[in-house]
Structure formats: structure tokens, C-alpha cells
Structure 1
Amino acid sequence: MKTLTIEPLTKEAFAPFGDVIESEGRDHFMINNGSTQRYHNLGEVQLDEDGQGIISIFRAKTLEYPLQVKMLERHPFGSQSFIPLFGHEFLLVVAPVGDGSLNIDPSTVRAFRANSRQGVNYHRNVWHHPIMALRDDDEFLVVDRTGPGNNCDEFFFDEAIQLSVELD
């Protein structure tokens, strides 16, 4: 069993998996007669030709830690973004796209902790754990795809990866 080290979420470290949605350190320009700073194009909504972009709210329960990561999922037809609505930290477990098969090398799995001002946009086909809230009934604004086809593949590990998290 492998224990994952939880890394701080940074734009550079998360680049192979998607976009970090945050204003910190990002360029902006003024709009609305100078009353609003716009941090433009922080993530790309990726959709296939048959899908539509949708906006949802997910309300998540806290998982039990230490967590045994037994599965990851991916969305082949569109990206998926999570933006915390209550400003709480949350966890991410990801693996690269790989060769396109339904297989994940456990040695490539990484874990991140998003701070209270960050969201993420998983690119198409990036393997990730379902939402990992650190507080019960936390809510996330989710931008993803709806449309025809099965847009959720799941991969189950032969041996669980142990993810240990020390909560405050």
C-alpha cells in the first residue's frame, strides 16, 4: 500500500491535470466602469461536439480519514470544474491522462490540498477522486458537461492506495 503525500495546490504542480482557478498572482483588467477586477480565462471549459456546458452545485459530506483511495474517475467528453462556495479547503487526488486506456499506474497518483481561495478545472480524461470535502455539507459550484454518451469512466485499484490526512 502506498501513502500519498499531500502537496499544496499550485498552478505549476497541477498543470498536467488541469487549471487552478484563483486570482492570486494572476493578471487582471478593470471592467464595469472601473469597479471590478476581471481575472480572465482562468480555465478552459472543454466539451465534445455533442455536449453542453452546465452549472451545478454539489453538496458534499466529509469522507473518513485516513482514506483508502480505491477508485478514480474521469470524464472523456468534457472538463469538470469545482469552485468552493463557502471558502473552505478541500483535497484532490489525481492521476495523468495516460495512454487513453482504462488503466492507472498507482505510482503516478498525486494528492493536493486546495486553499480556501482556489478552485480547480480537471481537463478531459484526467483521472480524479470524487469530491473530497473537509467539512460536512460543503458546497461547490461545478461546471461540466451534459449530453449523450457515458461521460464517466471508473478505475478500481487492485490494492488500495492509503491516503492519510491530518485534519485541523
Structure 2
Amino acid sequence: MRLIPIVPIDAARFAPFGSLLEAPDKDPRQDRAAAVVNTRPGVPANLALVRSEPYATAMPLRRLERHPHSSQAFLPLSVSAYVVVVAPDAGGVPDEAGLLAFLVPGGVGLSYHPNAWHAHMVTLDAPGVFAMLVHEDGSDGDCVFARIAPVELAREG
């Protein structure tokens, strides 16, 4: 089974897939911290709470997802650190050779671009909770899944 190394998240390496949501340095408020995209007029925003299971129960990873018409943001609420897995697009399917796994500190959120292939959220050692914002109406256009060859994430230490 293929092993994907987990590397610390870096805004520049993550940029093709989305943006990081970090606390403002000085100002009490950071407007437009990330683009909120919805290409389907009339489809409502869904602010959901999502429980994430720890790494050990989530491996091997067997599928990715993308949201063709909406950005999708995650803000950790009770998470010390988590892992995100992304892949470039290869003509409507994930480019499995380009899979990347990032370690994200619990104080940093993220927003995926529409159509960014990504895996479900994975915490490290304990379940966690995220606030998630996406535009969806329950139709097939909300989310597309793609099976991938099973992979494991390589944790250091």
C-alpha cells in the first residue's frame, strides 16, 4: 500500500486547493478571509458541525471528494491538530500521483476552492469537531466522490 508523508501545511503549497484561515495579527477583524463561492443561485449556505474521527480509524484512505459548485470552509472547534489530504485534478478525477497530506495546527482553518479534490477531515489522536460552511441543497450536484487506490498516511515519530 502506498504511503503518503504528512508534511506541515504551507499556504503556498496549499494555494492550488484553497486558502488557510488564520487569526488576524493586529486587527480585531479580518473581512473576506477567504472567497465564499456558490455558482448555483438559490442554493443555500449550510453551516454544519462535523465530527472527525482520529487517524487510526480513518486509514486506509480509499476515496476523495470535491464540491463542483461551492467552496467549503472548515474551522476547528475542538481539535489540537488535523490532517488534510488533497490531490490535483486530472480531467475530472483525482491525480493520485499528486496526493499531498498536510498537518494543520488546531488554531488554523481552511477553505477549499470549488472542485478541489480532498479527503474527509482526519484528527490525530482523538475525535474532533469542526464548523463547516458549504452551499448545498441535497442534490447530486453538491458533492462528487472518486475512489482511489488505498493509501496510508505516514506519521513521523
Question: Structure 2 length as normaliser, TM-score?
Answer: 0.87
CA distance in 2 between partners of 1:117 and 1:3 (Å): 27
Unaligned regions of 5+ residues in structure 1, if any? 30-36
Q: Do the aligned residues in 1 keep the contact of 2:79 with 2:128 (CA within 8 Å)?
A: no
SS in 2 for 1:47: coil
Deviating above 4 A after TM superposition, structure 1's stretches of 4 or more consecutive aligned residues are none
Q: Which runs of 5+ in 2 are unaligned?
A: none
Secondary structure in 1 aligned to 2:70? coil
Q: Among 122, 133, 152, which residue is 1:162 paired with?
A: 152
Q: Secondary structure at the match of 2:130?
A: strand
Of residues 40, 54, 64 in structure 1, which corresponds to 2:56?
64
Amino acid at match of 1:126: A
The amino acid that maps onto 1:49 is R
Provide the residue aligned with 2:40 in structure 1.
49
The answer to whether the 8 A contact 1:84-1:140 is kept is yes
In structure 1, what is the Cα distance between the partners aligned to 2:87 and 2:39? 21
Q: Which residue of 2 aligns with 1:15?
A: 15
Q: How far does residue 80 in structure 1 lie from its aligned partner after superposition?
A: 0.9
Q: Which amino acid aligns with 2:18?
A: G
State the AA in 2 paired with 1:46: V
> Cα offset for 1:66?
8.3
> Any idea what SS the aligned residue of 2:3 has?
coil
Q: Secondary structure at the match of 1:76?
A: coil
> 1:13-162 maps to which residues of 2 (within 5 A)?
13-23=13-23, 29=27, 37-50=28-41, 51-64=43-56, 67-99=59-91, 101=92, 103-147=93-137, 149-150=139-140, 151-157=142-148, 159-162=149-152
| Structure with the greater alpha carbon radius of gyration | 1
Q: Deviations over 1:33-89 (max 9, x none)?
A: xxxx11222211111133222211112222426822211011111111111102421
Residue 97 (structure 1) shift: 3.4
User: How many residue pairs get matched?
Assistant: 155
* Residues 135 and 45 of structure 1, relative CA distance in 2, 3 Å threshold: farther
Distance in 1 of aligned mates of 2:35 and 2:14: 14
Letter in 2 for 1:127: W
Structural RMSD (CA): 2.1
